[in-house]
Amino acid sequence: MAKTLRDKLIPYTFVLPALLLLALFSLIPIFIALIISFTGLDITGLGDWSQIKFIGLQNYTQLFHDSAFLQSILNTGYYVIIGVPLVILLSLTVAILINFGQNRFFRFMRLVFYTPSITNTVAVAVVWTYMYNPSMGLLNNLFGKIGLGPFPWLSDPATAKMSLIILAVWKAIGLNMLIFLAALQGIPESLYEAAELDGAGWWQQTRHITLPSLSFSIFFVTVTTLIGWFQFFDEPFVMTKGGPLNSTNSVALFVYQNGFQNSNFGYAAAGSFVMFTAIIIATLVQFKLQKKQQGI
Amino acid sequence: MINGNKTAVRNGKVAVGAILLFWGFITILPFLWMFLSSFKTNAEISQATQNFLPNHWTLDNYKRLFIDSNFGVYLKNTLIITLFSFMGMLLNAMAGYGFAKFKFKGRGPLFILVLATMMIPGQVTMIPVYLILNEMHLTNTLAGIILPGLVGAFAIFLFRQFMSNISNSIIEAARLDGASEWYIFWHIIIPISKPVLAVQGILTFIGGWNAFLWPLIIANDQKYYTLSVGLQLLQGQHTSDYGLQMAGSSFMVIPIVIIFVIFQKYILQGFNVQAEK
C-alpha cells in the first residue's frame, strides 16, 4: 500500500509542536548566546541592533581578569567539591538504612526524607534564612542550649558557603535516596543469602555486594548532581545575594547579575559559556571514569 | 544459634529505626518550625528564645499576606501558569507518541536532538531566550513566562519509553476500522497511558507551582509575579518580619506536601534509573 503524502506528514504533526518549542527556546538560544558572547550587547543594543559591536574575544579576556568572576569560579568549585560527595554519601546512607525494613515505619521515613526535594527552593531558602538568624534563629537557640555557638552562619564569609551547602544537601538527599533505593531493591536476595552462608558480615556484604551493584546509580547520581551544583543559583540568590564580600557568589549568579541587573548581555553570555564548557568537561570526565571502572 | 541471629537482626533494626527517627526529625524540623512560627505574633517571634508552640495562636500573618501583600494576584498567576503547563504536558505526550509509534524521516537524529537539550544549562539559554521574547514583545507578559518552559525533553523521553510498550496490534486494528490517527491518540493511547500521565501530571503541577527563574526574568511588573517571585520580593521588603515570611513560605510548601502525600505512590515508583539489560 503506497503511502500518500498526507500519511507521510502525520507523524510530524505529533512531534513538531514540541520540537519547534524546543528549537526556539533551547537549541537556537545556544547559538545566539555564542554569537552575543563576542559582542558588547547591552541595553542600548537591545533597542537598536545597529549599535551592537563585535568585540572578538574581549569579553572572555576581561572575564579572566575580573576578580568577581574568578572568585565565583572558586566558590562554585568549593560548592561542587564539598557538596557533591556529601549528597552522594548521605543519600546512599539514608537509602541503605531505609532498605533495612519494609514495614510502615520505613515507608513513612521514605516520605519524610523525600519531602524537602519537592518543596519550593525560594520558600525553604526563606525558612533557612530565618533559622540561620544569629540572634533569634532556631539553630543558634538550639546550639546555645548545649553550650555551643553562637555561630555567624550567613553573615561571615568563612561560614556562609558552608551554610548554603547544608541547606542544598538537605534538599537534595530525598530524590537521590529514591534512586538508590530503587536500585537496592533490585539486588537479588540470593546474593546476600549466599554471602551469609560463607560467613560474610554486614559490612563485607555492603562492600562486596551492595556497592558494586549500585555502580550505575552512583554514576547517574554523580553526573546529575555535578551538573546541578555547577549551576548553583537559587540558594545564594535568595539568601545572600552572593555576599558577604562575594564569598557565596556562584558563576550562575554572576551570569544573572551581569545579564539582568547590569544589562551586560554580551559579558554575561561569555560567562555562561565558560560555565557550559566546565559542565561538559566534568561530565565527559565522569563518563571516562565510569568506562575505566567497568573495564577492570 | 538461629534464635540468637534473629534477635541480633531485630536489635539491628531497632537501632537503624532509632537513627532514622532522629535524622528524619532533623529533616522535617525546618517545616515544623516554619509552620508553627507562621501562627506566632510579631512580638513573640522577635524574642531571642521562643517556645516551639506559639503562645498565642494567630492567623494575622496569613491575613496580611493577602491584604498588605499581593498574594491573591500571585496565586492567580501561578495557577494560570500551572494550567498552561498541563497543555505543555499534552504536547510532550504527543511528541512521545510520535517518536514511539511512527517511522518517519529523521526520527533518530531528531530524538537525539531532543535528548541533547537536557544537557543545556538554564543560565546559557536565559539571556538569548530573554532577547527572543523581547523581539516577540512577550517580555512582561504571562505568555512570555509560560512559553519557555512549556515542553521538556525529559518528559518527552518518559512518554516515549512508556508508549513504546503499547502493543502495535491495538493501533493497527483501530486503523483497519478506519479510525483517524488523532482519534487513535485521544481515544486509545491517552487512556492506556494513565500511569505515566499521573506521574507527569503531578510533576507538572509541582513544577508549575514552584516556577521561579522564568517568572523572575520575564515579569517586571508585580501583577505578573508568581508565588515564588512574590515571596522573594516579600523577603526583601519585610526583612525582619519573620511571621509574615513564614506564612508566605507555608502557603507555598503545605499544598505541595498535601498533594505529594495523596499521590506519593505514583511518584515514588517513577525513579528506577537502572540501565536496561
- CA angle B115/A217/A163 to nearest 5° reads 95
Shared domain check, B75 and B16: no
Shared domain check, B181 and B120: yes
Measured CA to CA, the distance from residue B19 to residue B27 in angstroms comes to: 12
Q: Is B120 helix (H, G, I), strand (E, B) or coil?
A: coil
Judged on CB neighbours under 10 Å (0-12, 13-18, 19+), B108 is exposed
* CA distances to A166, A198, B2, B14, B29 from A201, in Å: 33, 9, 15, 18, 35
A217 → closest Cβ in B126, B248, B273: B273
Shared domain check, B77 and B167: yes
A127 → closest Cβ in B16, B30, B227: B30
Measured CA to CA, the distance from residue B199 to residue A118 in angstroms comes to: 13
Domains in chain A, CATH or no CATH each:
33-64+75-294 (1.10.3720.10)
Mutate to test the interface with A, among B123, B205, B269 (most CBs of A within 10 A): B123
Which of A159, A144, A155 minimizes the C-alpha distance to B48?
Answer: A144
ipTM score? 0.86
Shared domain check, B203 and B221: yes
Measured CA to CA, the distance from residue B140 to residue A36 in angstroms comes to: 22
Q: DSSP letters of chain A?
A: -PPPHHHHHHHHHHHHHHHHHHIIIIIHHHHHHHHHTTB---HHHHH-GGG--B-TTHHHHHHTT-HHHHHHHHHHHHHHHHHHHHHHHHHHHHHHHHTT--SHHHHHHHHHHHHHHHS-HHHHHHHHHHHT-TTT-HHHHHHHHTT-----GGGSHHHHHHHHHHHHHHHHHHHHHHHHHHHHTTS-HHHHHHHHHTT--HHHHIIIIIHHHTHHHHHHHHHHHHHHHHT--HHHHHHTTT-STTTT--HHHHHHIIIIIS--HHHHHHHHHHHHHHHHHHHHHHHHHHHHHHH-
Measured between beta carbons, the chain B residues lying within 8 angstroms of A126 are 231-232, 235, 245-246, 248-249
Question: Are residues A255 and B147, on separate chains, in Cβ contact within 8 Å?
Answer: no
- Give the CA diameter of chain B: 78
Measured between beta carbons, the chain A residues lying within 8 angstroms of B30 are 116, 124, 127-128, 131, 170
Question: Are residues A265 and B127, on separate chains, in Cβ contact within 8 Å?
Answer: yes
* Residue B118 to chain A, least CA–CA distance (Å): 9
A120 → closest Cβ in B20, B253, B273: B253
Pick the residue from chain B with its C-alpha nearest to A175: B271
Question: Are residues A216 and B126, on separate chains, in Cβ contact within 8 Å?
Answer: no
Shared domain check, B56 and B128: no
pLDDT at B277: 32
**Cell numbers for B153:** 525533553
pLDDT at B4: 58
**CB proximity list for B175: less than 8 A, separation 6 or greater:** B184
pLDDT at A67: 93
Shared domain check, B203 and B91: yes
Q: DSSP letters of B201-247?
A: HHHHHHHHHH--HHHHHH--SGGG--HHHHHHHHHHHSTT-HHHHHH
Cis ω for the linkage preceding A244 (within 30 of 0): yes
Measured CA to CA, the distance from residue A243 to residue A160 in angstroms comes to: 8
Measured between beta carbons, the chain A residues lying within 8 angstroms of B116 are 27
A27 → closest Cβ in B113, B126, B181: B113
Asked whether residue B149 is domain-assigned, the answer is yes
Shared domain check, B28 and B114: no
Question: Into how many domains does chain B fold?
Answer: 2
Question: Are residues A32 and B260, on separate chains, in Cβ contact within 8 Å?
Answer: no
Q: Does residue A243 contact residue B92 with C-beta atoms inside 8 Å?
A: no
| Residues 39-78 in B contacting A (C-alpha not used; CB under 8 Å) | 45-50
Shared domain check, B82 and B43: no
Residue in the structure block whose three cell numbers are 541503605: A96
Mutate to test the interface with B, among A59, A126, A234 (most CBs of B within 10 A): A126
CATH code for the domain of B233 = 1.10.3720.10
Residue numbers of chain B with a pLDDT score lower than 50:
1-2, 274-277
Measured CA to CA, the distance from residue A135 to residue B37 in angstroms comes to: 16
* Residue B108 to chain A, least CA–CA distance (Å): 12
* Residue A273 to chain B, least CA–CA distance (Å): 7
Measured CA to CA, the distance from residue A138 to residue B49 in angstroms comes to: 8
**CB proximity list for B146: less than 8 A, separation 6 or greater:** B80, B81, B84, B85
Shared domain check, B56 and B116: no
B128 → closest Cβ in A32, A100, A123: A32
Interface A-B, measured as beta-carbon pairs within 8 A, has a size of: 263
Asked whether residue B271 is domain-assigned, the answer is no
Question: Are residues B121 and A231, on separate chains, in Cβ contact within 8 Å?
Answer: yes
Measured CA to CA, the distance from residue A128 to residue A171 in angstroms comes to: 11
Asked whether residue B142 is domain-assigned, the answer is yes
**CB proximity list for B267: less than 8 A, separation 6 or greater:** B199, B202, B203, B260
Shared domain check, B85 and B55: no
| Residues 143-182 in B contacting A (C-alpha not used; CB under 8 Å) | 147-148, 150-151, 153, 156, 181
Among B202, B219, B237, the domain boundary falls at B237
Measured between beta carbons, the chain B residues lying within 8 angstroms of A25 are 125, 129, 132, 147-148
Which of B181, B93, B85, B257 minimizes the C-alpha distance to A9?
Answer: B181
Mutate to test the interface with B, among A9, A28, A30, A118 (most CBs of B within 10 A): A118
Which of B142, B125, B122, B164 minimizes the C-alpha distance to B276?
Answer: B164
Among B40, B60, B80, the domain boundary falls at B60
Mutate to test the interface with A, among B9, B20, B158 (most CBs of A within 10 A): B20
Asked whether residue B192 is domain-assigned, the answer is yes
A14 → closest Cβ in B102, B212, B252: B102
Measured between beta carbons, the chain A residues lying within 8 angstroms of B256 are 118-120
Q: Does residue B26 contact residue A94 with C-beta atoms inside 8 Å?
A: no
Which of A23, A33, A27 minimizes the C-alpha distance to A265?
Answer: A33
Give A54's strand partners: A39
Measured between beta carbons, the chain B residues lying within 8 angstroms of A119 are 31, 210, 252-253, 256-257
**Cell numbers for A295:** 573495564
Asked whether residue B276 is domain-assigned, the answer is no
Q: What amino acid occupies position B269?
A: Q
Residue in the structure block whose three cell numbers are 509552620: B35
**Cell numbers for A60:** 572572555
Asked whether residue B48 is domain-assigned, the answer is yes
* Structural domain for B29, as ranges: 2-60
Asked whether residue B196 is domain-assigned, the answer is yes
> pLDDT tens track of chain A, all 296 residues?
556 777 888 899 999 999 999 999 999 999 999 999 999 888 887 777 777 888 889 999 999 999 999 999 999 999 999 999 999 999 999 999 998 888 889 888 988 999 998 899 999 999 999 999 888 888 888 888 888 878 888 988 889 999 999 999 999 999 899 889 888 988 888 888 888 888 888 888 888 888 888 988 899 899 889 989 999 998 999 999 988 888 999 999 999 999 989 989 999 999 999 999 999 998 889 888 888 776 65
Question: Are residues A18 and B95, on separate chains, in Cβ contact within 8 Å?
Answer: yes
* Residue B124 to chain A, least CA–CA distance (Å): 5
Shared domain check, B173 and B117: yes
Cis ω for the linkage preceding A85 (within 30 of 0): no
Asked whether residue B249 is domain-assigned, the answer is no
Give how far the C-alpha of residue B233 lies from the chain's centroid of Cα atoms, to the nearest Å.
Answer: 21
Measured between beta carbons, the chain A residues lying within 8 angstroms of B129 are 25, 29
Shared domain check, B165 and B76: yes
Q: Does B9 touch chain A (CB under 8 A)?
A: no
